[in-house]
Amino acid sequence: MIQRKPLRSSGWMLGGAIVSFLLTAASCAHHRHRLQDGAWRAELSLSHGRQAPFLFEVRHTATDSAVLTLINGEERTPLTGIRYAADSVTIPIDAYDAAIKARVSGGLLEGRFIKHYIENDTGVPFKAWQGSAPRFAPADSPTGIPIDGRWDMLFIGAGGDTTQNVGIFKAENQTVTGTILTSSGDLRFLEGALTAGGVQLSAFGGLTPYYLELAFTDSSAVEGALYTARGKTLLAGRRNNRAALANPYALTSLKRGFSRLSFRLPNANGELTSLADPRYKGKVVVVSILGTWCPNCVDEAQYLAQWYRENRERGAEILGLSFERKDDFGYAKAAVERFKKQHDIAYEILIAGKVGSESVAKALPELNGLSSYPTTLFIDKNGRVAKIYTGFSGPATGLFYEDWKKDFNKVVDDLLNANGHSS
Out of 94-98, 239-243, 417-421, which region has the weakest mean confidence (pLDDT)?
417-421
pTM for this predicted structure: 0.88
My answer on whether 23 and 59 are in the same domain is: no
My answer on whether 407 and 289 are in the same domain is: yes
Q: Average pLDDT in the 398-413 region?
A: 97
My answer on whether 369 and 295 are in the same domain is: yes
Question: If pLDDT is split at 50, 70 and 90, which confidence band does 159 have?
Answer: confident
Residue 422 domain flag? no
Residue 160: the pLDDT is 85
Residue 143 domain flag? no
Q: Average pLDDT in the 35-42 region?
A: 97
Q: For residues 267 and 264, give the distance between their C-alpha atoms in angstroms, rounded to a whole number.
A: 10
Q: Average pLDDT in the 283-305 region?
A: 97
Q: What is the CATH number of the domain that holds 311?
A: 3.40.30.10
Kindly give, in sequence order, each residue whose CB lies less than 8 Å from that of residue 154, ignoring residues fewer than 6 positions away: 162, 163, 164, 165, 235, 236, 237
My answer on whether 259 and 397 are in the same domain is: yes
Q: What is the CATH number of the domain that holds 45?
A: 2.40.128.120
Measured in degrees and rounded to the nearest 5, phi and psi for residue 324 equal: -105, 175
Q: Cα 29 from chain centroid?
A: 35
Residue 102 domain flag? yes
Q: What is the pLDDT of residues 224-268, one digit of tens each?
A: 999 999 999 999 999 999 999 999 999 999 999 999 999 999 999
Residue 141 domain flag? no
Question: If pLDDT is split at 50, 70 and 90, which confidence band does 24 have?
Answer: very low
Q: Encode burial over 15-50: b for 16+ CB neighbours within 10 A, e otherwise.
A: eeeeeeeeeeeeeeeeeebbbeeeebbbbbbbeeeb
Number of domains, the chain: 4
Residue 135 domain flag? no
My answer on whether 294 and 409 are in the same domain is: yes
Range of the domain at 291: 248-417
Kindly give, in sequence order, each residue whose CB lies less than 8 Å from that of residue 114, ignoring residues fewer than 6 positions away: 98, 99, 100, 101, 121, 123
